[in-house]
Structure 1
């Protein structure tokens, strides 16, 4: 929160200073140093926004049980989706037509809440969570199956016995038929008074239970040293099952994957790819909705008016922002309902989000009137909010809570890839249909990037343009020559690209849900198998 405070304050004030000063008299180009400083200020605003967001999400995730975690997170981060509408409304009401004041409002309005967050935001573990924080802080690293919600006894539990294991005599043989796609195996639930078990003579489960040297008692829980040793043993299974009692069935024993291990898991790259494809689609639309609305409004319109065009642009920005907020809340409720009531993995909600993206792109592709563009904006905003309302919870389920902020930070880099690729593609497509022949063809890539960035700035500032006294005077005729004014033809090819990307994301979402369901059923089947003790005489 402290880092977010300084980053937001310095970033937005720096951008405001560049805007207020402008270019020196007689200078038509910005210097390389000034451009680098301006980029750095933009970078600071991104660091600050994400820092505050992740700080709040981390505290929320650790303060609510798994069954309501997605809903709680969705409600908290819904404000992030509503921020564009909130700040544009404030600027429109109190500083009409004054972009410098608008940037000052952004600097103060985004940085001061970080101080409040620093003073008041903190994790409050639910009553059933280990108050020592062993499970959530990574001290007891005992993974479970996705969505299984099963816990393990920590080493401080009164029913858990730990000691230094020096013997290499294993009571239970190691499973040699582990599925390669399971990097972390779920624990087997055992009643407190049940003996150590294996499912059958044909399928023997791996175990951490050993006969302690010079000790007659049997270890119900391996020591940390033994556990760490077994976690690194074997390439087909990175951890071993541990026993637990039903004393505290609500206690979560979650995965703890982070650092280099995160990049070696297929789950991370699946999330990264889906998020990149879908967020890239959303960012392309949001950054360029001003250009889309202008192309539709100017097409065959002899009464083109810049003020009215700006109002239509503002309508799209507000629609996207409000639906973004609602989408984050809705997907949280849907995800918790899917897991709690339908007994399905939350990853199935990726299918819902991807489908909404596809519908929004189909709507944008087919709409040819500015009066109906709000429908595509509403669908896109809702889907975009659902994406960022769902994926943080999936990161917790797939990789654990102990290093959630770090893991989500890596996953949230994906919009940088997808957003730039699709926005540049949109800009190139827009350039190819514009009437501006002044710029050389060799600068098409730079022109496309500039188009995407300028459109983003336009969306931020035009949403505050006034409609009454003091408004920018209308200019008759068409917009400047470098704007595309032929309607849907300006961007249809770009929408085709995003429709394909969203379809690929839908397929990956279906695969993720099917795979998690398979793991869930396999885990349930193993838990229900009658228990027998296997003694290995060879050792």
Structure 2
């Protein structure tokens, strides 16, 4: 595959990824959506969880489709799904409680979010699968670039909204329309330019490759970063491990692998923690805002925190890919370690973030929501930046997207549970003696007491994740593969 074509594919795949992570921006408009449609926190979380379930429950089916049919048709579907989903939410919001929502109800909004989630998975699976097949060495770095833009989605769109539409007559309505158009156009570009063309190392026998004869102008520097070391361990070569190209574990055989179930449990516990925080950051911000703070200032604080979370989500995805590649392939021999150990540090960051969140009493400052937002964003980015590579290296390239899609069922199950738990706890703390305005907005006015119990539960989930991560990292089969 020529360098220019591979670079174009990677670049447009990153644009696709930038519009596939907009589920993370839900908390920026969820409080306004709840206020306009008179939703409880539980209902708001059901809607947000529907988006998450669309992302993760569709994974096995979409992964199987892209493995068999390639990315183009999937990107066309993603274009339609994302535009239709966000446009439907915009119309439901614009009509208010007595408009289209009176007919569609919470189910209608949830179905629109579900469509957004499915479209997001379709776009990211198509982009990630194409990039994974286009790069042999430093595959983790290439994938982390695409996944980092996925994590940067909320930062990009929330800042674009603040810059261009903050003064609009209805900023939230304008934001939803921006999401509909921006995501749709990005998927259309992907359908044209994200072209599948596997690296020769994935399709040719090892003894028939003559990489040294490849013309210099067509050699990809992203693949050459490691070629100077004859002893390197890559996903495709290693003295102690079978290659990802020769391993193929899928279907029922996958369910008989203890490593898979440990990965499933670890991803479920940690993603449940992260998704609860991400989906409810706007609600937490609203509850901690000082009395007398204007709705526009609260919305600005919500957007700022969502941007901060998105930025560190992106950094987590970049760091875990590039640093783990270095630790596995290029670090001095005595300092090398398997990338699976990153799971332990990831779960530890989640645990610290939840302790800090449970103690937050203000929105701003390091004693407020900034620190837990940064840590949660970085941990969440690290989790999803490394999990796909671990699946690929442990269970093989041939059915990578299918296997990764099955693993994605874990966030759907655990994320749904943790979000529902938060909603129930929050609604339970809406005091009966609060002001009529707060009752209309279904807002808890007790500050930290509104949600502290939920963060205590997620702290326990993260602690259990640390234990599972240690067990997983200690298994010889995982250390050899990754």
Asked whether the two chains share a fold, i.e. TM above 0.5, the reply is: yes
Residue number in structure 1 paired with 2:49: none
Alignment pair present for 1:114 and 2:187: yes
Alignment equivalent of 1:384, drawn from 369, 380, 385: 380
Distance 2:122 2:441 in 1: 41
1:218-243 Cα distance to aligned partner (Å, 9 max, x none): xxxxxxxxxxxxxxxxxxxxxxxxxx
Residue number in structure 1 paired with 2:458: 498
Alignment equivalent of 2:260, drawn from 258, 268, 273: 268
Alignment pair present for 1:297 and 2:289: yes
Distance 2:257 2:89 in 1: 39
Alignment equivalent of 2:358, drawn from 359, 365, 372: 365
Judge conservation of contact 2:338–2:479 (CA < 8 Å) in 1: no
Give the TM-score of the pair, scaled to structure 1.
0.63
Which structure 1 residue ranges, 5 or more long, are not aligned?
136-145, 153-184, 188-250, 439-474, 524-539
Q: CA deviation at 1:252?
A: 5.1
Residue number in structure 1 paired with 2:90: 16
SS of 2:470's equivalent in the other structure is helix
Distance 1:339 1:414 in 2: 27
Alignment pair present for 1:30 and 2:30: no
Give the TM-score of the pair, scaled to structure 2.
0.70
Judge conservation of contact 1:358–1:502 (CA < 8 Å) in 2: yes
User: After the TM superposition, which of the residue ranges 351-360 and 484-493 deviates more from structure 2?
Assistant: 484-493
Alignment length (residue pairs): 373
**Larger Rg computed on CA atoms:** 1
Q: CA deviation at 1:23?
A: 5.1
- With over 3 angstroms needed to count, the CA separation of the structure-2 counterparts of 1:518 and 1:42, relative to structure 1, is closer
Alignment equivalent of 1:509, drawn from 456, 460, 469: 469
Q: CA deviation at 1:115?
A: 2.2
Alignment pair present for 1:418 and 2:414: yes
RMSD: 3.2
- With over 3 angstroms needed to count, the CA separation of the structure-2 counterparts of 1:517 and 1:109, relative to structure 1, is same
Which structure 2 residue ranges, 5 or more long, are not aligned?
1-74, 209-232
- With over 3 angstroms needed to count, the CA separation of the structure-2 counterparts of 1:368 and 1:42, relative to structure 1, is closer
- With over 3 angstroms needed to count, the CA separation of the structure-2 counterparts of 1:417 and 1:261, relative to structure 1, is same
1:472-513 Cα distance to aligned partner (Å, 9 max, x none): xxx9x9896742222222221111111110111111111111
SS of 2:445's equivalent in the other structure is coil
Alignment pair present for 1:258 and 2:246: no
- With over 3 angstroms needed to count, the CA separation of the structure-2 counterparts of 1:371 and 1:478, relative to structure 1, is farther
More helix by share: 2
- With over 3 angstroms needed to count, the CA separation of the structure-2 counterparts of 1:370 and 1:263, relative to structure 1, is same
Judge conservation of contact 1:435–1:483 (CA < 8 Å) in 2: no
Residue number in structure 2 paired with 1:247: none
Distance 2:327 2:474 in 1: 14
Residue number in structure 2 paired with 1:327: 316
